[in-house]
Chain A
Amino acid sequence: MAHDATTTGTGNTELVRVATSESRFARYGLIGIALCFVALFLVLPLAAVFTEAMRNGPGEFFTVLSDPETFAAIELTLLVAVIAVPLNLVFGVAAAWAIAKFEFKGKAFLTTLIDLPFSVSPVISGLVFVLLFGSHSLLGPWLQSHGIQILFAVPGIVLATVFVTFPFVARELIPLMQEQGTSDEEAALSLGASGWQTFWYVTLPNIKWGLLYGVLLCNARAMGEFGAVSVVSGHIRGLTNTMPLQVEILYNEYNFVAAFAVATLLALLALLTLVLKSLLEMKYSAQIAASRRH
Chain B
Amino acid sequence: MEVRVQNIRKEFSRFPALNDVSLDIRSGELIALLGPSGSGKTTLLRLIAGLESPTEGTVYFGNEDASRKTVQQRNIGFVFQHYALFRHMTVLDNVSFGLTIRPAGRRPSKDEIRKRALELLDLVQLSGLEKRYPAQLSGGQRQRVALARAMAVEPNVLLLDEPFGALDAQVRKELRRWLREIHDRTGHTTVFVTHDQDEALELADRVVVMSKGKIEQIGTPDEIYDTPNSPFVFGFIGESNILRVRVENGQLWIKEHSIGVSALGEADGPAQLYFRPHDIELLDGNGGCIAGLVAMTRRVAGTRHVELDIGAANSKVEIELPPEKVTSDHSRIAFRPTRWKLFRD
Chain A interfacial positions (CB closer than 8 Å to B): 183-184, 186-194, 197, 201-202, 205-206
Q: Which of A184, A192, A197 contacts B153 (CB 8 A)?
A: A192
Of the listed stretches B19-27, B71-79, B279-287, B315-323, chain A binds: B71-79
Q: Which of B76, B87, B102 contacts A190 (CB 8 A)?
A: B76
- Residues from chain A with a CB closer than 8 A to the CB of B98 are 191-193
CA distance in complex: A202, B149 (Å):
15
Would A202 and B80 be within 8 Å (CB), given that A189-B71, A192-B153 are in contact?
no
Would A186 and B80 be within 8 Å (CB), given that A191-B149, A192-B75, A205-B88 are in contact?
yes
Mark out the residues of chain B between 53 and 80 whose CB falls within 8 Å of any chain A CB in the assembled complex: 71-72, 75-78, 80
- For residue A125, give the distance in angstroms from its CB to the closest CB of chain B: 37
CA distance in complex: A128, B2 (Å):
62
Chain B interfacial positions (CB closer than 8 Å to A): 49, 51, 71-72, 75-78, 80-82, 84-88, 97-98, 101-102, 149-150, 152-153
- Residues from chain B with a CB closer than 8 A to the CB of A186 are 51, 71, 78, 80, 84
- Residues from chain B with a CB closer than 8 A to the CB of A187 are 78, 80, 84-86, 149
The SS class assigned to the B binding surface is loop
A201 touches B84 (CB 8 A): no
A190 touches B86 (CB 8 A): no
B71 touches A183 (CB 8 A): no
- For residue B214, give the distance in angstroms from its CB to the closest CB of chain A: 26
8 interchain pairs, CB-CB under 8 A = A183-B84, A187-B85, A188-B86, A189-B51, A189-B71, A201-B86, A201-B101, A205-B88
A206 touches B88 (CB 8 A): yes
- Residues from chain A with a CB closer than 8 A to the CB of B88 are 205-206
B84 touches A189 (CB 8 A): no
B72 touches A194 (CB 8 A): yes
B101 touches A190 (CB 8 A): no
**Apart from A187-B85, A191-B97, A191-B153: 7 A-B pairs, beta carbons within 8 A:** A183-B80, A184-B86, A191-B149, A192-B153, A193-B72, A194-B101, A205-B88
B101 touches A183 (CB 8 A): no
Q: Which 5 A-B pairs give the minimum distances between C-beta atoms?
A: A191-B98, A183-B84, A187-B84, A190-B78, A205-B88
CA distance in complex: A205, B87 (Å):
9
A192 touches B72 (CB 8 A): yes
- Residues from chain B with a CB closer than 8 A to the CB of A191 are 97-98, 101, 149-150, 152-153
Would A190 and B97 be within 8 Å (CB), given that A183-B82, A183-B84, A206-B88 are in contact?
no
- Residues from chain B with a CB closer than 8 A to the CB of A193 are 72, 97-98, 101
Q: Who on chain A is nearest to B79 by CB?
A: A187
Q: Who on chain A is nearest to B100 by CB?
A: A201
CA distance in complex: A173, B97 (Å):
25
- For residue A105, give the distance in angstroms from its CB to the closest CB of chain B: 11
- Residues from chain A with a CB closer than 8 A to the CB of B77 are 190
